Amino acid sequence: MRMAAKPLLEIVLASPRGFCAGVERAIETVERALIEFGAPVYVRHEIVHNARVCDDLRAKGAIFVEEVEEVPPNSVVIFSAHGVARRVEDAAAAARHHVIDATCPLVTRVHLGGRRYVAEGRRVILIGHLGHAEVEGTLGQIETPPDQPVLVVADVAEVEALDLPADARVAYVTQTTLSVSDTRSVIEAIRRRWPDAVGPDTRDICYATQNRQQAVTAIASSVDAMVIVGAPNSSNSNRLVEIARTAGIPARLIPNARDLEHGFLKGVRRLGISAGASAPGVVVDEVMTRLSEWFELKVTEAQGVREEVTFRLPRGLGDTLDKIAQRA
Ligand code: SF4
């Protein structure tokens, strides 16, 4: 009996997609620490927001904890790419841990900007999502007078509800993984209330976030639906889903290939695929394999910005390269 031919599905891959320089650096930091110091090494919080990445590192000997107080004294402790509050740094120092700080340098830049504004006597507003690890870290890195804590706002309504006088000297910083367009409207709301407010505009939103958002926007008008590979707790992945939906197409966040449902593709002839900055490329490959079980695929990759950003590994990984060479 002849098998029925599979229906054709055109795939448009957004470019760039997937790992950013900060995520690659953070993962490499854990891998190199495992080689240099041996297992276990402790990682505070998910090194990046992706269960697949963490499971792989766990299998190699990483132990993930939420607080350094869970770690035995004198251990190797790695801080995740999202950054940590000063109290976490202090707790790690008090327990005499060997700390390797994998905070993304672009997150550190936000911390430094916030501190500079406080030193100028400004009241700092942090645009971001309360409860996200990066926001918690940033709040804990910008020391303020006790009566002038950093204020966190997520949207225009929260700016309008802020209890600050019209003559307050205001500055703002942002989480690195926000939607560029939403953030712009929040900044406009801040400037409407405090016209002299200073801040980096949307430049705190990192290059990788901006490029991935642009790439989704670029293909959204030419596809019927979009799949974004990424974890449910990945801020930048969720923003990609929102951007696709705002462009008027159905979009799904898919942590793993098995989460892709055939029903979602009903009536879809052209499917866009992207991946958040913490999503491994192998999951995109697995999504393609799953799709190929159902469809004849015709795959094109959109033209996009070429990323050449790399970051040096953090301090604390001294002789790693020599050790790798010895083991080779
Ligand atoms: Fe750094 Fe941006 Fe990647 Fe976050 S998304 S780790 S800020 S490069």
Q: What is the pLDDT of residue 110?
A: 97
Q: What is the pLDDT of residue 1?
A: 64
Ligand 1, atom 2, lies closest to the CA of: 206
State the catalytic residues.
Answer: 134
What tokens does 138 get? 């940033």
Residue in 23, 180, 312 to alter for ligand 1 test, most ligand atoms within 8 A of Cβ: 23
Using one digit for the tens of pLDDT, what is the confidence trace for 125-161? 999 999 999 999 999 999 999 999 999 999 999 999 9
CA 221 and chain centroid, separation: 25
Q: What is the pLDDT of residue 177?
A: 95
Average pLDDT over residues 44-56: 95
Using one digit for the tens of pLDDT, what is the confidence trace for 174-213? 999 999 999 999 999 999 999 999 999 999 999 999 999 9
Using one digit for the tens of pLDDT, what is the confidence trace for 253-292? 999 999 999 999 999 999 999 999 999 999 999 999 999 9
69 CB-near residues (< 8 Å, 6+ apart): 91, 95
Residue in 27, 80, 111, 177 to alter for ligand 1 test, most ligand atoms within 8 A of Cβ: 177
Ligand 1, atom 1, lies closest to the CA of: 22
The pLDDT-based confidence of 322 (bands split at 50, 70, 90) is low
Dihedrals phi, psi of 175, to nearest 5 degrees? -60, 150
Q: What is the pLDDT of residue 318?
A: 65
SS3 per-residue string spanning 212-253:
HHHHHHHHHCCCCEEEEECCCCCHHHHHHHHHHHHCCCCEEE
AA letter at 50: N
Using one digit for the tens of pLDDT, what is the confidence trace for 204-226? 999 999 999 999 999 999 999 99
- Per-residue pLDDT at 325 exceeds 90: no
The pLDDT-based confidence of 326 (bands split at 50, 70, 90) is low
Longest CA–CA span in the chain (Å) reads 80
